[in-house]
């Protein structure tokens, strides 16, 4: 006679936005990892396509009034409003924790950290805080570190992300663990014929060097630096095409204005006809495969961009800004190249280096493919996350 299987353990996940980006892709993997032993309830501060994606998987969701996320620097008024909303949300979330018998609060990003930790404190519930970015501003580090004192476990997406927090708060080392972002194995991809032909057309020898930039269209991602570098390369007589994959953040006036300024600068320059705006792509794999190199021109610190791992998984070398966790995957001169942020001329030099040296490019392609090891596999990510959650729930 067999006993009834144990009921799944209720876990409250707190997300900080309703649309999909890198941190949300990781949360989707976390939710896969906890099935079927845990019963997730996912809270969002706003509706959006990522909310619908989670609902479509049969996972229960709800909205809590933390307010809409916006990128960029925040004013004193923004910070004050977030603090007030966080205190109110903490009270609401504490009621949900008690009513639903929640055994763990999983906070996916710093914006929900105050509300989540306060709610957990009010209900004596353990907390996991998943940190997806490298904190650089003193205020952000201070707030995160103060809240983290009441967290059971911190998961950092890279060694650099962990080091930024530990530099001024080494006492957090005992609760911090690095688990790299996962990337799902992709089949060998080739660009569709129409896309490839359009990207590579019009070169005198029938071969255009294609530079890809994948990510949100926002000043911190540095798309303007790539355009400046491309303009410099055309002055040097080099043929290339740039493809931007991504879109402005939802409801972001600053991002919309930035994209408009990028388009205008292209229209008023010699780059007209050499730049493709592909917009947001649910599956950018065919566009990755059309590129000779992918550039990550971030102007501020990053956690560990999944773009770098995805590109290298397809054997595409990466030129990245030497900031945050990028150097943890991009090894200069081996599987890609590093460049100082906001330095368009240096970026142009690096692109030209690959453009002019076919042997170097092919060598880096092979090494890029070999770089995506078990650290970034979904198969290793899932048990690591399950161990963290299991230890917190049982502790």
Provide the sign of the torsion angle of the four alpha carbons 16, 17, 21, 25, taken in this order.
positive
Identify the pLDDT of residue 252.
84
Q: Give 244 or 191, the one with higher predicted confidence.
A: 244
Angstrom distance (rounded) from CA 95 to CA 115: 13
Q: What is the dihedral of CA 232, 234, 239, 244, to 10 degrees?
A: 60
Q: Are 312 and 364 contacting, i.e. CB atoms less than 8 angstroms apart? A: no
Is pLDDT of 69 > 80? no
pLDDT band at residue 137, thresholds of 50, 70 and 90?
A: confident
Angstrom distance (rounded) from CA 329 to CA 335: 9
Listed range (37-51, 64-78, 222-236, 297-311) with the worst mean pLDDT: 64-78
Token pair of 176 as six digits: 């911090």
Identify the pLDDT of residue 54.
97
pLDDT band at residue 199, thresholds of 50, 70 and 90?
A: very low
Token pair of 292 as six digits: 């000779």
Is pLDDT of 3 > 60? no
pLDDT band at residue 202, thresholds of 50, 70 and 90?
A: very low
The SS3 assignment for 316 reads: coil
Neighbours of 394 (CB within 10 A): 9
Identify the pLDDT of residue 75.
65
Angstrom distance (rounded) from CA 219 to CA 255: 7
Residues β-bridged to residue 240 = 209
Please state whether the predicted TM-score (pTM) of the whole model is above 0.85. yes
Angstrom distance (rounded) from CA 314 to CA 214: 14
Identify the pLDDT of residue 201.
45
Distance from the first to the final alpha carbon of the chain? 31
Alpha helices in the chain (DSSP H): 22-34, 49-56, 76-100, 113-123, 138-148, 159-166, 193-200, 223-235, 253-267, 285-289, 306-313, 326-329, 344-356, 358-371, 378-394
Listed range (136-140, 282-286, 312-316) with the worst mean pLDDT: 136-140
Q: Are 189 and 289 contacting, i.e. CB atoms less than 8 angstroms apart? A: yes
Mean pLDDT of 339-355: 96
Q: State the DSSP string of 75-123.
A: -HHHHHHHHHHHHHHHHHHHHHHHHHT--EEEEESGGGHHHHHHHHHHH
Token pair of 334 as six digits: 């081996």
pLDDT band at residue 81, thresholds of 50, 70 and 90?
A: confident
Residue-wise pLDDT for 350-394, tens only, equals: 999 999 999 999 999 999 988 888 888 888 999 999 999 999 998
Angstrom distance (rounded) from CA 310 to CA 225: 22
Angstrom distance (rounded) from CA 309 to CA 326: 10
Is pLDDT of 96 > 60? yes
- Spell out the domains of the chain, with CATH numbers in brackets: 9-182+377-394 (3.40.50.2000), 193-375 (3.40.50.2000)
């Amino acid at each position: 006679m067999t006993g009834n299987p144990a009921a799944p353990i209720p876990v409250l996940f707190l997300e900080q936005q309703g649309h999909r980006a890198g941190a949300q892709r990781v949360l989707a993997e976390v939710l896969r990892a906890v099935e079927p032993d845990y019963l997730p309830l996912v809270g969002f501060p706003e509706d959006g396509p990522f909310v619908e994606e989670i609902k479509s998987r049969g996972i229960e969701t709800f909205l809590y009034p933390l307010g809409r996320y916006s990128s960029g620097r925040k004013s004193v008024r923004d910070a004050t409003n977030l603090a007030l909303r966080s205190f109110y949300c903490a009270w609401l979330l504490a009621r949900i924790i008690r009513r639903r018998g929640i055994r763990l609060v999983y906070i996916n990003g710093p914006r929900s950290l105050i509300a989540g930790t306060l709610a957990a404190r009010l209900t004596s519930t353990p907390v996991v805080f998943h940190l997806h970015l490298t904190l650089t501003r003193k205020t952000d580090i201070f707030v995160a570190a103060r809240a983290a004192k009441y967290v059971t476990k911190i998961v950092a997406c890279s060694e650099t992300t962990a080091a930024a927090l530990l530099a001024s708060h080494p006492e957090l080392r005992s609760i911090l663990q690095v688990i790299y972002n996962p990337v799902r194995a992709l089949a060998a991809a080739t660009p569709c014929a129409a896309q490839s032909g359009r990207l590579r057309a019009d070169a005198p020898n029938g071969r255009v060097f294609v530079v890809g930039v994948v990510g949100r269209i926002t000043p911190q991602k540095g798309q303007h630096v790539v355009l400046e570098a491309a303009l410099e390369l055309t002055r040097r007589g080099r043929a290339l095409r740039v493809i931007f994959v991504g879109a402005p953040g939802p409801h972001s006036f600053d991002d919309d204005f930035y994209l408009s300024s990028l388009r205008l600068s292209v229209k008023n320059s010699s780059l007209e006809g050499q730049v493709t705006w592909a917009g947001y792509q649910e599956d950018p794999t065919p566009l990755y495969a059309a590129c000779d190199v992918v550039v990550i021109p971030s102007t501020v610190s990053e956690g560990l961009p999944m773009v770098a791992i995805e590109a290298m998984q397809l054997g595409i070398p990466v030129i990245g800004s030497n900031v945050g966790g990028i150097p943890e995957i991009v090894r200069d001169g081996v599987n890609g190249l590093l460049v100082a942020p906001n330095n368009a001329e240096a970026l142009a030099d690096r692109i030209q280096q690959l453009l002019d040296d076919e042997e170097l490019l092919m060598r880096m392609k092979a090494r890029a493919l070999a770089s995506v090891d078990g650290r970034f596999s979904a198969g290793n990510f899932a048990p690591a996350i399950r161990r963290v959650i299991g230890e917190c729930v049982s502790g």
